[in-house]
Chains A and B, each alone.
Chain A
Amino acid sequence: MKQWIAFWNILTKDMRSYYLKPPNISWGLVFPLAWTAAFFVRSGSGLESVSSILPGVMGVSVLFGTTSMLAVTVTFEKKGRSFERLLLAPISLELLMLAKTAGAILFGTANAFVPVLIASFITDLGGVRWGSLVPVVTLIAVSSTFLGLFIAVSVSEVFEAQTFSNFFRFPMIFLCGLFVPVAALPIWLRPLSYALPLTYGADILHRSISGSGTMPTALNFAALSAFCVLLFAVSLRNIRRYWIL
């Protein structure tokens, strides 16, 4: 019970201090929408193409909504030594890092549904499979957040966190099948696509919204879950190794 009081307060503090602040909206919402608008205008297609673009917008929204703040805030707290306060609290490291990441997961998941809300006014979303869409958005948020955590633990400066985040995020927009199908990529690039968690999430997003997935849903969920476990475990190992000296 005592650990959950700590968990809840870390989560609500982070939500208030970081995620519900205007600068985060620029990274989490405005940037993905602007990015997608550019794709939309460039493709020259009409409103009927909204459902084919929607998975990409959702994927980018989650990716930027989660990683934009987490990597920076953890690095910021580590540098200001307030993160030490959390490490010295009688709360297990696993629960502590779940508390630190829960805000980003919630924010990223909420971000993903903003484009869905907008799309609902301009196209028919009657064919969407919500039963797989909601869980996959959550899993993409978890994996992207843990990627942000992995980045945060690997750097020491705030600017490094931003640079390192972009090193992963921008290639993922093109490599993970969000807007360009993986099958359309040069064959030598495809292994890289399958080494990224968002590829599996994007495939389920396409299947859930437009029925155009290429891989079995169960395989996609399993791969995405495996990435979540792996990224969290590696981040915890790195915290124990480099932050608890």
Chain B
Amino acid sequence: MEPIINVHSLSKSFGEVQAVRGVTFSVSRGELFGFLGPNGAGKTTTINMLTGLARPDRGSISIAGIDCPRNPKAAQHLMGIVPDESNLYPELTGFQNLSFCGALYGMKKTERVERARELLERFGLTEAADRKFAGYSKGMKRKLTIAAGIIHSPEILFLDEPTSGIDVASARQLRRLIAELNQAGTTIFLTTHYIEEAERLCSRIAFIVSGGIRTIDTVEHLMSGYEDRQIMHFEVSSVDDTLCAELGTEFPRFDCRTDSRNRICIESSETIAVGQIVRFFEDRGIDIYEARKIRPSLEDVFVQVTGIEAGAMHEVQEKSRQR
């Protein structure tokens, strides 16, 4: 497939902080590409550089053959951008917001009125079309913001954390809409900190940590090295700092980590004999409340590749959002 986004050695610093360091990747036409990383990893800075809202210090960006840093306005014709915050105009109605966004891309009145109505219906917002955006629920705001991003039928859609902070039902509906858009031929560049969302939607994923890309591959390839991994989760009565080290000494072939309070995760390339683990805990007076065998997921790949606990990533992201 022909690449529509080509990024080479992209770097960006803010004062002393290097937000993005030497990032290189390409996205094929029609692909749904996931950009996954914790808060502060450089996802939004990369999107800002790709869309012309930030200037790279070094490196090149080509969008459909257009040198984006040199000619951002030409590239912006091809892009739809949905930022991580629903930043439409609170004083305008849903319909007026869509129509205004269409006008920003030079759409004629009849064209944008028709398209706005079509999108309102598609996103289930027809009844709220004449209500002011300020009165919308979070999920409705997110849907309208995505609709505004595609009002001009862009070739490439940049989605920054599209389902963040909304309820489960709205998030599911949005994921379905994103998948439909991609099936209709729109190239989608998706940044998210929800690993399962990326796993479900994306064909290829890049893991970005501390401004650098750790790995880029298809979900299948990323998972292939993990299919033989055995993973067991134990919920126990107590966990102290030395427990993992002791487990490691007793069972050198097991990788052990605690990924939340009183939960121990054991991974191994060999079969995990549950009995010996149970005895290990019993010898130390630790009760086991639950033991589960887990199918390896992209989250496990992420943890392995980045060294960051996925749970910690969610926590950091949520705290930052609350702030």
Given contacts A81-B85, A82-B89, is CB(A244)–CB(B54) below 8 Å? yes
Given contacts A17-B92, A80-B90, A245-B54, is CB(A85)–CB(B106) below 8 Å? no
**A10-B106 Cα distance, complex, nearest whole Å:** 11
**A3-B106 Cα distance, complex, nearest whole Å:** 6
Tell whether B176 is near chain A: CB-to-CB under 8 Å. Answer: no
Given contacts A5-B106, A5-B107, A6-B106, is CB(A88)–CB(B52) below 8 Å? yes
Among A89-97, A158-166, A179-187, A207-215, the stretch that binds chain B is A89-97
Are B100 and A88 neighbours in the complex by a CB distance under 8 Å? Answer: no
A90 contacts across to B, CB distance below 8 A: 73-74, 76-77, 104-106
Chain B binding surface SS class: loop
Are B105 and A17 neighbours in the complex by a CB distance under 8 Å? Answer: no
**A154-B40 Cα distance, complex, nearest whole Å:** 26
Are B54 and A84 neighbours in the complex by a CB distance under 8 Å? Answer: no
Chain A binding surface SS class: helix
**A26-B41 Cα distance, complex, nearest whole Å:** 47
Which of A6, A8, A13, A84 is in CB contact (< 8 Å) with B87?
A84
**A82-B52 Cα distance, complex, nearest whole Å:** 16
Are A13 and B100 neighbours in the complex by a CB distance under 8 Å? Answer: yes
- How distant is B87 from chain A, measured CB to nearest CB, in Å? 4
- How distant is B148 from chain A, measured CB to nearest CB, in Å? 8
**A17-B54 Cα distance, complex, nearest whole Å:** 29
Interface residues of B in 56-90 (CB under 8 A from A): 73-74, 76-77, 79, 81, 83, 85, 87-90
Given contacts A90-B77, A90-B106, is CB(A244)–CB(B55) below 8 Å? yes
Given contacts A17-B89, A17-B92, is CB(A85)–CB(B104) below 8 Å? yes
Tell whether B53 is near chain A: CB-to-CB under 8 Å. Answer: yes
Interface string of B142-160 (1 = CB under 8 A from A): 0000001000000000000
Given contacts A5-B106, A17-B91, A90-B106, is CB(A85)–CB(B101) below 8 Å? yes
Given contacts A90-B76, A244-B53, A245-B14, is CB(A82)–CB(B88) below 8 Å? yes
What is B's interface to A at a CB cutoff of 8 Å? 14, 48, 51-55, 73-74, 76-77, 79, 81, 83, 85, 87-92, 100-101, 103-108, 148
27 pairs, A vs B, C-beta closer than 8 Å = A3-B106, A5-B106, A6-B103, A6-B106, A8-B103, A9-B104, A13-B92, A13-B100, A17-B89, A17-B92, A80-B90, A81-B83, A82-B87, A82-B88, A82-B89, A85-B87, A86-B104, A88-B53, A89-B76, A89-B105, A90-B73, A90-B76, A90-B105, A91-B73, A244-B52, A244-B54, A245-B48
Which 6 A/B pairs are nearest by Cβ-Cβ distance?
Answer: A2-B106, A9-B103, A89-B104, A81-B87, A90-B76, A90-B77
